[in-house]
Amino acid sequence: MRSIFENGHAEKAPPTTDKRECWYLPIFGIYHPQKPNQLRVVFDSSAKYGGVSLNDILLTGPDLTNSLSGILLRFRGEPVAIMGDIQQMFYCFKVDENNRDFLRFLWYEDNDFNKSLTDYHMCVHVFGNSPSPAIATYGLRKTAEMSKENYGDDVYNFICRDFYVDDGITSLPTPGVAIDLMKRTQSALQTIGNLRLHKIASNSEEVMKAFQPFDLTKDLKDLDLSSDTLPVQRSLGLNWDIETDSFMFKLAKDIKPYTRRGILSTINSVYDPLGFLAPVLIQGKLIQRELTTGNVDWNETLPQSKYEEWETWKTSLHHLEKVTIQRMCLSRSFSDTVDKKLHIFSDAPEKAIAAVAYFTSVRHSSIGFVLGKAKVAPTHGHSIPRLEPCAAVLATEIGQTISDNLDIPFNSIQYHTDSMVVLGYISNEKRRFYTYVSNRVAKIRQLSQPEQWTYVPTDKNPTDLATRAIPAADLQQSSWLLGPKQLLGKESILESFELQNPEEDKENRPEIVCAKSIASKESLLGTHRFESFSFWKRLVNAITYIKRILGARANLPKIDYLQIEKEAENSIIKEAQKDMSLKNSHASV
C-alpha cells in the first residue's frame, strides 16, 4: 500500500455528495503460488452490492490480446531466446478524474494503522477491472505506433506481436540482434510511454551481461553468470530452463478432493498450451467424462467404481516432471532452414480426436514437434465416418494457426490421415453428403486443397497415441514428441482418392437422376409453309380457304366469311410468334 501511495497510484478522495455516483471496492492481499514472498493487493471489482458488481456495469472493450500459441510458436524458432516484463503495466495508465469515484476504497489515513479509516480512490486502472487488459494493451500498442519512426519496425512488431499483456518473449538469430532489439524497445517504452521493461532473461550469457543487474529478473541479479547454474524461468506459464534451453513441467502439490470440481481442477492445473502432453491428459479427460455423466453436483463425492483408475492416473502424472522439451523446434535456426516443410497428422477412433504438426528438414535430418491437440469425442450420434472429418478439420485449423503465426507458404503444408473414408470425402467431386459431413468437408477444402492430403498407415500415425492415451512415463520417447521417422524419407506420392462404398455409406446422399420433359404442342401449320407465298394477301386467302373447307365439312349452320378471314390472319400471326419464341429459348440455352 505504501508503494501505491508513493507512486501516485492512489490518492485521498474528495467527500461524496448526493449528486455524484460512486462505488467502493473491497481490497485484500494474495500470494501467487509461484511468488511466495510477494504480496499483491487485489481490488475486487466483482464484489456485488444489491446484486450488482462494478464489472457488471463496465464494458470489457475489444479483445486485443495476442494469441498465446502464436507467441510461443515464434519463441521456438531461433537460437537466442529473450523475455521481459513491463513493470506494473495496468498502473501505468491513468483513469480520467471524472471516473475515479468508481474506484473508491477505504484505508487507514496516511497508511497508519493507528489512525481511522478514510476514503481513497485509485488514479490508475487496477487488476480485476474487466476493461483493464484492453485499455493497457491499447496503450502499449499506441506507444509502439508512436515509436515506429524513431526506433524501427522491428521494435513495433515486437511490441505489437510478441507481448501477451505485459510479458514479451521472442527468439532471434544472434545475441547481438537480441541485445539491440531489447535495448531499443526499453528506450522506446520508457521515453514515449513511461513504461519500464525489466525482468529480462535469456539463454545467452552474452545477452544477460549486456543489461544492468536491476533490469534482470530477480533470480539472476546476484548470480555469477559465467559459473552459476541458471534458474528456471516462467515464460507465459511454461517453465523454461535457461541452462538447458528446454521446457519443463511442474505439478501442483496440493491434494484435490474426489469430486467433479477436484477432478477438473487437477486436469486444468497441468498447463500445456502447445499440446506436448496431450496423449497423457486425454486419459484424464476421458475418466472425467465417465465420472461426471449425468446430474452430478460440483462438490459431490463421485462413484467409488472409478476411484482406483482415477488415482492411478493422477499418481502417474509425477513422471511429467521428468519430461523436457527442447525450446527450439528444429535443430538449427528456423530462418536458416530452407527446406522446411510442415506435416500435420489427424486421427479419430471412437473416444477422442487428435491432430499434431511437425516441421521437417530433410537436409539436416531434423524433425520438430510444433503444435498438437486432442479432444474428447461426443458420446452420442457420432460414428467413425463423422469423427474422422472432425479430426481433419482440427488438422486444418492447426495448419492455419501455424501458417498465420509463422508465415508458412500454403504449398509447404502436407496433411496425413489413416482414414481412406475421409480422403474420399475430401477428393470427391461428384457425390453430395448430408449436412454434418458436408459442412466439415467444406471447411477442410476452405483451408486446404485435396492434393495436400495423403494416406498414412495407422501404425505410422503419431496421433494414434493421443486418441488412445499413453502413460506419462512413456511420453518422452514416444513418436508424439519425437515425430514419425518416415518423414525424413521420400516424399509421399500425391494421388486422388475415391469414395469408399458410396452406396453403403450413410453420409452420402442417394443419387437422383432427374429428367426434364418439355411438352410442346406442335402445330400442323408450321411457318416454313409460309415461304411459298410472295404476298401477305395470298397467304391469308389460302388459310381462309382451308378454314372454309373445314367449316363446311363440320356442317356449321352459318359461315361468316369475314370472321373466317380474321381468324386466318390471327392464326398466321400466332404461328409466327410461336416459332420465334422457340428460337429464342434455344438460343438462351
The pTM score is 0.79
Does residue 345 contact residue 402 with C-beta atoms inside 8 Å? no
Give me Rg for the CA atoms of the chain.
Answer: 37
The pLDDT assigned to 261 comes to: 92
Amino acid of residue 587: A
The pLDDT assigned to 131 comes to: 95
User: pLDDT per position in the chain (589 positions), as tens?
Assistant: 999 999 999 999 999 887 889 999 999 988 876 677 778 888 999 999 999 999 999 999 999 999 999 999 999 999 999 999 999 999 999 999 999 999 999 999 999 999 999 999 999 999 889 999 999 999 999 999 999 999 999 999 999 999 999 999 999 999 999 999 999 999 999 999 999 999 999 999 999 999 999 999 877 665 555 666 666 777 667 889 999 999 999 888 888 999 999 999 999 989 899 999 999 999 999 999 888 877 888 899 898 888 999 999 999 999 999 999 999 999 888 888 888 899 999 999 888 999 999 999 878 788 999 999 999 988 765 667 788 899 999 999 999 999 999 877 766 899 999 999 899 888 887 667 778 888 898 999 999 999 999 999 999 999 999 998 999 999 999 999 999 988 876 665 556 676 666 655 666 666 655 655 554 555 556 777 788 888 888 888 888 888 877 776 666 656 676 788 888 888 888 888 887 776 665 554 4
Comparing CA positions, the residue from 350, 446, 332, 349 lying closest to residue 393 is: 446
CATH 3.30.470.20 fits 338-488, yes or no: no
User: In angstroms, rounded to a whole number, what is the distance separating the alpha carbons of residues 270 and 263?
Assistant: 12
The pLDDT assigned to 225 comes to: 53
The pLDDT assigned to 339 comes to: 82
Comparing CA positions, the residue from 444, 273, 428 lying closest to residue 346 is: 444
The pLDDT assigned to 521 comes to: 54
Does residue 77 contact residue 171 with C-beta atoms inside 8 Å? yes
The ranges of the chain annotated as CATH 3.30.420.10 are: 338-488
The pLDDT assigned to 589 comes to: 45
The pLDDT assigned to 511 comes to: 61
Bridge pairing between strands 413-417 and 453-455: parallel
> What grid cell was written down for 172?
532471434
